Amino acid sequence: MPQAFHHDGVTYFGTVRGDTGAQQLGQYVHATDALTLSTVHTFSPDMHNYPAVVRRADGHLVTVYCDHSAGALYRRISTSPDDATAWGSETNIDSQVGGVGYTYPWLMRLDEEDDDLLLFIRNYAGGTMDWCLSRSTDGGSSWSAFTTLVSGSRYYARCWLSPDGRIDFATTDGSYAEDGASLYHFYSLPDGTFHQSDGTVITSPPFTPGELTKVYDGEVGAGVRYPASVARDVDSGDVVIAFPIQTGSPTDHVGEDEDYLYARWDGSGWTVNTVATDVGANTFEITEGSLSVDPHDLAVLLVSKRVAGTWTVHRYVTGDEGVTWDITAIGAGAGGSLYPGWVQDHADGLLAMWMQGTFTTEDDWSSGIAGYRRV
């Protein structure tokens, strides 16, 4: 899912082309319906290679990007404020962060008044997946050495930064169907401390799954694939994690199909409910359509599932914290619509985006980015 955010009538996002492998930053102006794409680098086509993007306090944009599990990690800063069409020189920050193989960069700005930035990223090292943080205190010019949060074989993780500075993390302890992986949660506060879901302080990272709060207890035939989306309601304190599980007997590391689940923390415990079953996931390369929680309304999801063989995006709404769902189909483009994601701080005109097109493998696809304009 591309990283995307809205600011002052413009939505900015990262994307990658299936024909050339070009990593691009998009700029969509709501008032004029104008879209501009700017290429920052070109690797071989790979669906993993979405660039991350964040806005600094002075309006300049910072992007970080890499090739799938490769050893270079690049950073650029826009030459003008609020302008994703022109970028400064490319800098390889690999020697600063100290990783080995990079994938899935995600950028966060910690404070509205300064330029403290965080980079959350996977470092693939020696057969393990280390999920790491690096900090920049100068608006992205330089970066600290990695702090590894969790590390393990085939671990997958995701995070969400709330306006109050709290970061919620979700991680698995595996991803193959035969792993029977479980799902875990923890969070950090601006003071640098880490906590289990109930607030219990946990020691300095890296953390083992046993130190975290177990959200969902997986098993073979119902193991977590990865955390698809994490979000938190600052007012209520509730946290939601949406994720797929692999069902049936494993073959070549995948299950026979997938179900989508919705886990919600209400301040006292986690409750897990089913969103959709038998969604049509039956290949390893394009495992599922995925799903995403609206960070501004935890009762709303975007869900991609197969309908008559075609991946179609639906809007799911719950009034009882995930027990039941009202469902509306909103996206069924030619070929398929996959990997929906909400725009951070979204506004009228563009609420969410997803990939729409023809998909064969992670490095063989032809798609565009479709936008969702209204609720």
Q: Over the stretch 190-203, which tens digit does the pLDDT of each residue have?
A: 999 999 999 999 99
Q: How confident is the model at residue 368 (pLDDT cuts 50, 70, 90)?
A: confident
For the chain, the first-to-last Cα distance in angstroms comes to: 20
Q: Which of 218, 193, 221, 223 is nearest to 207 (CA)?
A: 193
| Cα torsion through 13, 121, 240, 353, rounded to 10 | 20
**pLDDT of 256 higher than 60:** yes
Please give the biggest Cα pair distance in the chain. Answer: 53
pLDDT for residue 2: 80
pLDDT, tens digit, 9 for 90 and up, residues 1-41: 789 999 999 999 999 998 899 999 999 999 999 999 999 99
- Residue 241 pairs in a beta bridge with 230, 263
pLDDT for residue 331: 77
Mean pLDDT of 358-373: 83
Are 13 and 25 in contact by the 8 Å Cβ rule? The answer is: yes
Quote the radius of gyration of the chain (alpha carbons, Å).
19
d(C-alpha 163, C-alpha 295), whole Å: 11
pLDDT for residue 109: 97
**pLDDT of 63 higher than 90:** yes
pLDDT for residue 168: 99
Mean pLDDT of 93-117: 94
pLDDT for residue 115: 86
Give the Cα-Cα-Cα angle 160, 165, 171 (nearest 5 degrees). Answer: 30
d(C-alpha 58, C-alpha 80), whole Å: 10
Q: Is 94 helix (H, G, I), strand (E, B) or coil?
A: helix
Higher pLDDT, residue 365 or 30 = 30
d(C-alpha 345, C-alpha 339), whole Å: 19
pLDDT, tens digit, 9 for 90 and up, residues 300-342: 999 999 998 889 999 999 999 999 999 999 977 677 899 999 9
Share of the chain above pLDDT 70, in %: 97
Are 51 and 14 in contact by the 8 Å Cβ rule? The answer is: yes
pLDDT, tens digit, 9 for 90 and up, residues 164-211: 999 999 999 999 999 999 999 999 999 999 999 999 999 999 999 999
pLDDT, tens digit, 9 for 90 and up, residues 107-157: 999 987 788 999 999 999 888 999 999 999 999 999 999 999 999 999 999
Q: What is the 3-state secondary structure of 173-235?
A: CCCCHHHCCCEEEEEECCCCCEECCCCCEECCCCECHHHCEEEECCCCCEEECCCCEEEECCC
How high is the mean pLDDT of the chain?
94
Q: How confident is the model at residue 287 (pLDDT cuts 50, 70, 90)?
A: low
pLDDT for residue 285: 53
Q: Which residues are CB-neighbours of 271 under 8 A, at least 6 positions away?
A: 263, 264, 321, 322
